Amino acid sequence: MVEYRTPAEIEEMRPAGRFVAEVLTALRAKADVGVNLLELDALAHQMIRDRGATSCYVDYHPSFGASPFGKVLCTSVNDAVLHGLPHDYALADGDVLSLDFAVSVDGWVSDSATTVVVGTPRPEDLRLIAATEEALAAGIAAAKVGGKLGDISEAIGRVGRKAGYTINTQFGGHGVGREMHGPPHVSNDGRRNRGLPLKAGLVLAIEPWFLASTDEIYTDPDGWTLRSADGSRGAHSEHTVAITPKGPLVLTARD
């Protein structure tokens, strides 16, 4: 069932959004050549403990996961784009790293993702990341009272296609509230004026992700990490957004 939040409840969600933004900002600053993915997960874990928050990932075990996730952070490197399970890997110069993080603070969840280049960037990687960020901004701009869910999806897909990328619609955004994942599913491509009417109080995780030269993915032997079928690199951007009468409110905005 799609749930709608009162203005007071959206205010109660702000601390979770701020904390998720703080953690991702710290992780972006920490990510460097030679830093191990497990160090990044440990930093996020320590910040969760210090804040008294609750990880949405560590015990997460949906139907598509081989086992409970076991970590508090998704770290997807290069050809990995989603659900990257942190493991013993030291970041190398030029790696593309996507960080996805969700926690519950005082019973409310926020979810956000960002992609960075470690060390020396390649122009094509920066272009890919920029496309996901532009698509995220377009999707957020379409999250308005009176619109339809398809408006968000179409805005994301339009940016991706214009940049020359094909769009996978298997995984996308979702409702956020007391739980990390709820209805509705927010596809990264669609048609305007179709789908669920957008009403005040709807809170969504909007999350475009693109691969450089395919839209096909497969699951890594770790049972979680999703990789491109052709080895091309991926990028992922995400914010938790509340639809309000005054327009979209980005709860996970980073400074």
Name the strand (E) or helix (H) holding 154.
helix 149-162
pLDDT score of 158: 98
Please state, for a pLDDT cut of 90, what percent of the chain lies above it.
98
Supply the pLDDT for residue 64: 83
pLDDT in tens, 204-250: 999 999 999 999 999 999 999 999 999 999 999 999 999 999 999 99
How far apart are the C-alpha atoms of 213 and 63, rounded to whole Å? 28
DSSP 118-132: -SSPPHHHHHHHHHH
Question: Structural domain tally of the chain?
Answer: 1
CA distance 27 to 21: 10
pLDDT for 7 equals 98
Query: If you average pLDDT over every residue of the chain, what do you get?
Result: 97
What pLDDT is attached to residue 62?
85
CATH of the domain at 243: 3.90.230.10
Of 33-42, 62-71, 177-186, 206-215, give the lowest mean pLDDT range.
62-71
In this structure, what are the phi and psi dihedrals at residue 111, rounded to the nearest 5 degrees?
A: -145, 130
Q: Please indicate, yes or no, if residue 228 is contained in any of the structural domains.
A: yes
Domain residues for the domain of 188 are 7-250
Beta-strand runs (E) in 169-208: 173-175, 182-186, 203-206
Helix (H) or strand (E) holding 112: strand 108-117
Is 153 a member of any domain? yes
Q: What is the mean pLDDT of residues 156-176?
A: 97
Q: Does residue 75 belong to any structural domain of this protein? A: yes
Judge whether 169 lies within some domain. Answer: yes
Residues paired with residue 173 on neighbouring β-strands, in sequence order: 186
The answer on pLDDT for 183 being more than 90 is yes
Q: Is residue 89 part of a domain?
A: yes
What is the model's pTM? Answer: 0.97
Q: Does residue 255 sit within a domain?
A: no
pLDDT (mean) for 126-153: 98
